[in-house]
Amino acid sequence: MVRSDRHRDNTTLPAKIGLRRLMLRQMREAGVVPVIVEAYGGTGEVFVECYASVPSGVVFDKKPERALHLAVQRPTWAVYRADCVASLAGGAGSHLVATVLDLDPYGDPWPAIRAFFESERPRADKLFVVVNDGMRTSVRIGKAWSLPTLQPAVEIFGNNLHPVYLEVCRWLMERAADGAGYDVTAFAGYYCGHSKKMTHYLAVLERNGGNNG
């Protein structure tokens, strides 16, 4: 059994699972078949609780022992032992038309989000993006201005992004998605974890007839 890294705080796991189950219910109601791109596979706990019945997907992890575990866990998925940002930017997973982009990094999810949207790949008419975002810790201590991901938001919202971070996340999602021809038609999230340092959010995107990717 693969164990979680000692330094990783996984106290928000029940909330992560709950948000993904909510997403899957919404997908069933909308008649959308789940095809998953899981950018950070980790120890596979989310898969067991949420995606075990999903036959098609793509998952990434850089660590060899984790990638092997993920390959055994999900034999019908494409499993990459690779950096997800570089791989997504290069079109990895483009053999599938993804309807879910799932991101659970240690910190910044936006390089992987941008890599997915900026890469050449087929685009579903409706895409669900579910995120566990660890950037609010740096925002809380006033470092937003120094983070490349957040610098465009600082120009709009100012450096104190802590109280409006969910609003910032929606704004960043709209910017990232627009280049791939998507509008953000629904967005919801919450702060959680110790000192509310984590941010979970779910975005629903629909094609707007723009760039086909």
In order of 88, 89, 133, 164, the CA distances from 83 in angstroms are 9, 10, 18, 30
Residue ranges of the chain whose pLDDT lies below 70: 1-10, 210-213
pLDDT at 138 (0 to 100): 86
Confirm if 202 and 126 have CB atoms less than 8 A apart.
no
pLDDT at 158 (0 to 100): 95
Q: Give the integer Cα–Cα distance in Å for 51 and 96.
A: 16
pLDDT at 209 (0 to 100): 72
Please report the domains of the chain, with CATH numbers, ordered by start residue: 13-134+162-206 (3.40.50.150)
pLDDT at 159 (0 to 100): 94
Q: Give the integer Cα–Cα distance in Å for 180 and 186.
A: 17
